[in-house]
Amino acid sequence: MSKTLQHYPLGATIPDTVHAVCCSLPTMDDVIGYEEKRPETIAQVKYAYPRFVLHDYVVQAMNLASERLGLADKQIFLLPSEGAAKSCIKWLGVEGAEIREEFDFFCIVLPKTEELLRRGKAFLQHTGLSISSRHAEDYLKHHGCMDAGKDFALQSYSAKESKPRVINVLRRYLPTDHLYLANCGMNAFYGALQAAQQVQSAKGRSHYLQLGWLYLDTQRILEQFIGAESTLTVHYDVFDEAWLRNFFAEHGSQLAAIVTELPTNPLIQTPNVELLNELCREHRVIRIYDPTIAAISSVDVLPHTDLLVTSLTKYAAHEGDVMIGAAAINPESPFADELVGALNGKCEPPYVRDLAKLAAQIDAMPEVVAKQNANAKALAAWLETHPAVSKVWHPWSEQCAKNFAAIARSEESCGAMVTFELNIPLKQFYDRARIVKGPSFGTTFTMMCPFMYLAHFDQASTEKGRAELRACGLNPELIRLSAGVEDIEEIKQALGEGLGD
């Protein structure tokens, strides 16, 4: 590996600057305490995934804006554009809400209630429409609330250089003139879904299909943002091709779009893209696919979709310290011309310093992903034979291999993620394994999490919810692992300490 790549010794403390992905919860008791919002646990969490927990700089910026604008008796949120602020107010449905411009962002001003605080945070989480920590940092510095000489996260490129540098790398894998950057992956999906709605609603189509168990916020956006006049069907079994044929035969004329991940999160399953191509072409259905799990440099999904969305927070920003996403239109899509007009302006552009930070890392993506691919494959093979492991999920699993091969760029393609189930108690493994514990993936350092506890705690923590998860093929105790670039034997040793080796 290149000596310029940044990674950390297994079991090391990750610096505060790696704030985009890490929430240090070293034991299962910490995980439960975090989800239950126990004060003693929350007090120890300095940084966490920024869409779920507002970064400390953003909180400081909210307090400063509130003070400067005389809004101490109001609830405010900071959004990067007036359009984002209007979207939030519309979704909240609050009478008398205001929009106030401050610095180079916009404040929405609401009555101070617990309900609006909860719903406002939910909107920002799902859509990714909060200002970023670097944006907040610049505001705090501008008003003398932070040392102007201190830079929370340095970058190497100017704003003018950054965008073309990032776009040039992305076009190696997404060859289209219609490539849109967003301030995070979920905002790219939020924008893409709005574009599909705009195109299809004019044709009287308002039925949406979610195929597979998808990432939490993808599911929430589908549930909460398609509108009361629309219908959502969810089918978790991506391999149930008979069901797909029957569903399209019955509902194809009303179907607006199908949404899935290639592969899915967290079970890393890939549906039959050729069958989906056939059905969607026949019934004029927009395909919205997300290849984030395996990385755009490992899988070639654009030819199989109409709208591709991806998080560049993973793999491209492999140091784990910036959030950015992208949406791309397949130039060969029968919807291409309509989608170009509809998607324009739907994605919130990344903040200039976030884009500069990505530009400083993205050139190394191929090298990083190649090492992650090799390590993930080796870990999957090792875990499949380990007596403490009962099941392993990876892209080349027997049930998935043929479908994954249809999108894989090479036989080495895999992505960083491996998911597995245990023959031993989850707490025993999780507490002892000497691995960074965080909710993201695609970083140069290996990390893992008890995914269902972090993403679906309401279900993982109750018998009814656990039964619902099992009915969908999900073990509430599963571990989602992201392979880093460390020496493979070191990773095995660190995992083995949890597995009882």
Q: Is the pLDDT of residue 194 over 50?
A: yes
Among 473, 193, 143, smallest CA distance to 306 is for 193
Q: What is the pLDDT of residues 262-299, one digit of tens each?
A: 999 999 999 999 999 999 999 999 999 999 999 999 99
Query: Which pLDDT score is estimated for 4?
Result: 35
Asked if 235 and 222 count as a contact pair (C-beta separation under 8 A), the reply is no
Alpha carbons 342 and 336: distance in angstroms, whole number: 10
Alpha carbons 259 and 248: distance in angstroms, whole number: 14
Contact partners, residue 35, CB within 8 Å, separation at least 6? 453, 454, 457, 461
DSSP string, 398-456: TTTHHHHHTTBSSTT---SEEEEEESS-HHHHHHH--SEE-S----SS-EEE-HHHHH-
Query: Which pLDDT score is estimated for 220?
Result: 95
CATH class of 365-499: alpha beta
Supply 471's token pair.
């009915």
* Domain 159-361 annotated CATH 3.30.1330.10: no
DSSP string, 453-466: HHH-HHHHTSHHHH
Q: What is the pLDDT of residues 125-177, one digit of tens each?
A: 999 999 999 999 999 999 999 876 665 455 567 778 899 999 999 999 999 99
Is residue 346 classed exposed, middle or buried when 0-12, 13-18 and 19+ CB atoms within 10 A define those classes? buried
pTM, full prediction: 0.93
Asked if 288 and 196 count as a contact pair (C-beta separation under 8 A), the reply is yes
Is residue 108 classed exposed, middle or buried when 0-12, 13-18 and 19+ CB atoms within 10 A define those classes? buried
Query: Which pLDDT score is estimated for 372?
Result: 97
Q: What is the pLDDT of residues 431-446, one digit of tens each?
A: 999 999 888 899 999 9
Among 47, 153, 28, smallest CA distance to 479 is for 28
pLDDT bracket for residue 18 (50, 70, 90):
very low
Alpha carbons 260 and 34: distance in angstroms, whole number: 29
Q: Where are the domains of the chain?
A: 51-142, 159-361, 365-499
Q: Tell the residue number behind the tokens 């509108």, with chain if given.
A: 227
Q: What is the pLDDT of residues 216-232, one digit of tens each?
A: 999 999 999 999 999 99
Buried-exposed string 347-385: b where 16+ CB fall within 10 A, e elsewhere: bbbbbbbbbbbbbbbbebbbbbbbbbbebbbbbbebbee
CATH number, domain 51-142: 3.30.70
Asked if 347 and 185 count as a contact pair (C-beta separation under 8 A), the reply is no
